[in-house]
Amino acid sequence: MNWAETLRTALDAIRHRRMRSALTVLGILIGIAAVMLTVGLGQGAQQQVAAQINSLGSNLLVVTPGSTTSVGGVRGGAGSASTLTSADAALLANTTVAPDIGAVAPVSTTSQLAVAGTSTWTTSIVGTTPTWLTVRARSVVSGRFFTNDDLNNLSRVAVIGSTTASDLFGFRDPVGQQVTIANIPFTIIGELNTAGSTVGGDQDDQLVVPSTTWASIFSSSGGSTISSIYVEAASTQALSAAYQETDNALLTQHGVTASNADFQVASQASLLQTATSTTQILTILLAGIAAISLLVGGIGVMNIMLVSVTERVREIGLRKALGATPRAILRQFLVEASVLGLIGGLLGIALGTIGALTLPAVLGQPVLLSLPVALGALLVSLIIGIVAGVYPAGRAARLAPIDALRSE
């Protein structure tokens, strides 16, 4: 019996046992699709997190305060102290002190109720300098950003995020409109481009005002204390040097050492690495759980092949009596198991592809299709079929013709 005849016989056997074969294929199909979608969701999450972190700005360093320690020795969380000042930002902006830093944007934030006519919305009020726009890689879609003149004149102007604009003004153009914050009117002079949500929250739900204006209205320290400092390296290649210059300058400025530093400097790369490693671990964990269904599918293939051997004992005996070799019998049952695994793999890839195309609209989460994962899933399904068919095929090949023919 040649390979063509073996394949035809295997397909006939599968076709004659449609229901059992379909249930076996279903087990492998679900396993393959689950692995594809799990890995795709993980890779999509990694891509989304990377895009969110990159949207924070180009070649970015973020300086945040350290933690507080109470009289009883209880330490607060990172960022709970008030150790950063506007003088720190001015020091980092000095090219003599930090030649590899391209731009610095000190930031102060508070949450306030904004009122526009009959509409109200609690949003983040960000006090900063005109360099914020460049450092954060943002732009305005209408109007303008505030200038150094606005900064020096303590102008009561604000640039609004798209989320805040939608909640306060609906479909109206916010530029030129008035918004009241802490009983003080501000004029909206520009609207920021959409940045979406990041690890720091919704970047479109904010009102950005000059830091001097923010300090005169919202600060109890006269604006000397700030929430964080965004630092942009002069280039990608200078990011490491800018990190060292920032760290050394602030250590000297605060009179502390690295072991008891009252601030933290995080680079864009470190943020990305931390977030990516977390999603990778979750992806591996979930893919491992999904792979269990593949094991169940393999057991299903073995089960149907064992039942098939039991049901076809007389057929096996007759074929052996007519001259079929144990190798031919072994090959036939291995081909049957392989075909079941292959069909399950192909259908699983098809289902995984459909899921990857439809799930993003339902979950709001990207699902990436990976060719290596798809091909690997197909190979795994074929291997599962072969491995699961080895024992039943060997059992069929070892049957003695006379014992098989006498079987009831």
Q: Which domain holds residue 341?
A: 3-52+274-405
Give the residue among 388, 391, 373 at the shortest CA–CA distance from 291.
Answer: 373
Q: Are residues 358 and 394 in the same domain?
A: yes
Phi/psi for 354 (5° steps) reads -60, -45
Q: Are residues 142 and 226 in the same domain?
A: yes
Mean pLDDT, the chain, whole residue set: 81
Helix ranges, 120-184 (H): 132-135, 148-152, 162-169
Q: Are residues 298 and 362 in the same domain?
A: yes
Indicate whether 53 pLDDT > 90: no
Ranked by mean pLDDT, the top range of 18-27, 221-230, 252-261, 385-394 is 252-261
Distance CA 388, CA 139 (A): 59
Phi/psi for 110 (5° steps) reads -155, 160
**Domain's final residue, options 220, 236, 261:** 261
Would you state the torsion angle of the CA atoms of residues 163, 169, 173, 175, taken in this order, to the nearest 10 degrees?
Answer: -80
Indicate whether 406 pLDDT > 70: no
Q: Are residues 250 and 278 in the same domain?
A: no
| DSSP-assigned beta bridge partners for residue 310 | none
Residue 257: count other Cβ atoms within 10 Å of its Cβ: 8
User: Token pair for residue 219?
Assistant: 């600060």
Q: Are residues 108 and 213 in the same domain?
A: yes
How many domains does the chain divide into? 2
Q: Are residues 248 and 313 in the same domain?
A: no
Q: Are residues 222 and 306 in the same domain?
A: no
Q: Are residues 39 and 175 in the same domain?
A: no
Q: Are residues 309 and 185 in the same domain?
A: no
Q: Tell me the per-residue pLDDT of 198-239, one tens digit each, with 9 for 90 and over.
A: 655 788 999 999 999 999 999 876 667 899 999 998 887 888
Q: Are residues 244 and 160 in the same domain?
A: yes
The one-letter amino acid code at 376 reads G
63 within some domain: no
Q: Are residues 195 and 306 in the same domain?
A: no
Q: How confident is the model at residue 114 (pLDDT cuts 50, 70, 90)?
A: very high
Q: Tell me the per-residue pLDDT of 307-348, one tens digit each, with 9 for 90 and over.
A: 766 666 677 667 777 777 777 777 777 787 788 888 888 888
69 within some domain: no
User: Model pTM?
Assistant: 0.60
Q: How confident is the model at residue 77 (pLDDT cuts 50, 70, 90)?
A: very low
* Per-residue confidence (pLDDT) for residue 211, from 0 to 100: 93
370 within some domain: yes
**DSSP states along 233-260:** ESSSTTHHHHHHHHHHHHHHHHT--GGG
Please give the average per-residue pLDDT across 167-194, as a whole number: 94
Q: Are residues 285 and 389 in the same domain?
A: yes
* Positive/negative CA dihedral, 259, 82, 274, 35: positive
Please give the average per-residue pLDDT across 70-89, as a whole number: 62
68 within some domain: no
